[in-house]
């Protein structure tokens, strides 16, 4: 039988070893210091957790791999079925569970509702053909 341990902790440092992967130092909830562990992320999505972000790691024997991270300081409110990509700068792309799309940056926002209506706020529309 394969025995695995779940570790919860807080990010202390993140290093990009190459374009292909990052390494994480973190402190477990039991105050254990864990250094230089690989961060595995979902295919097609990549982020660099901030210092203090919560994380989940799996341990099998001596191998520990970080498999998830979250930062409650920047979490957004979502409705059922919503999916969002966001950053600490209030920039986000939200796919609404009801079919709409919303993109927001510090410079403005764009919203397309599920009925096809489009709203552009604080920006200019440029159509290129």
Lowest-confidence range among 34-43, 58-67, 103-112, 120-129?
A: 120-129
pLDDT level of residue 70 (50, 70, 90 thresholds): very high
pTM of the complete model? 0.76
26 within 8 A of 37, measured Cβ to Cβ: yes
CATH topology for the 5-72 domain: OB fold (Dihydrolipoamide Acetyltransferase, E2P) (2.40.50)
Look at residue 124 and tell me whether its pLDDT is greater than 80: no
Looking at the chain, the domain(s) classified CATH 2.40.50.140 span 5-72
Which token pair is 124? 């200019």
Q: What was the pLDDT predicted at 129?
A: 67
54 - beta bridge partners? 10, 70
Look at residue 93 and tell me whether its pLDDT is greater than 80: yes
Lowest-confidence range among 62-71, 83-92, 94-103?
A: 83-92
Buried-state track 57-88, b at ≥16 Cβ within 10 A, e below 16: bebeeeebebeebebeeeeeeeeeeeeeebee
Q: What was the pLDDT predicted at 128?
A: 75
- Chain mean pLDDT for the chain: 91
């Amino acid at each position: 039988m394969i025995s695995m341990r779940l570790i919860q902790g807080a990010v202390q440092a993140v290093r990009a070893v190459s374009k292909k992967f990052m390494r994480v130092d973190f402190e477990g909830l039991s105050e254990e210091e864990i250094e230089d562990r690989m961060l595995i992320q979902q295919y097609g999505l990549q982020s660099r957790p901030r210092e203090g972000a919560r994380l989940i790691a799996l341990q099998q024997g001596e191998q520990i791999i970080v498999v998830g991270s979250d930062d409650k300081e920047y979490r957004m409110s979502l409705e059922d079925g919503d999916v969002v990509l966001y950053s600490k700068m209030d920039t986000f792309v939200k796919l609404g569970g009801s079919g709409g799309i919303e993109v927001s940056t510090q410079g403005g926002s764009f919203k397309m509702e599920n009925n096809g209506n489009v709203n552009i706020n604080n920006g200019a529309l440029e159509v290129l053909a």
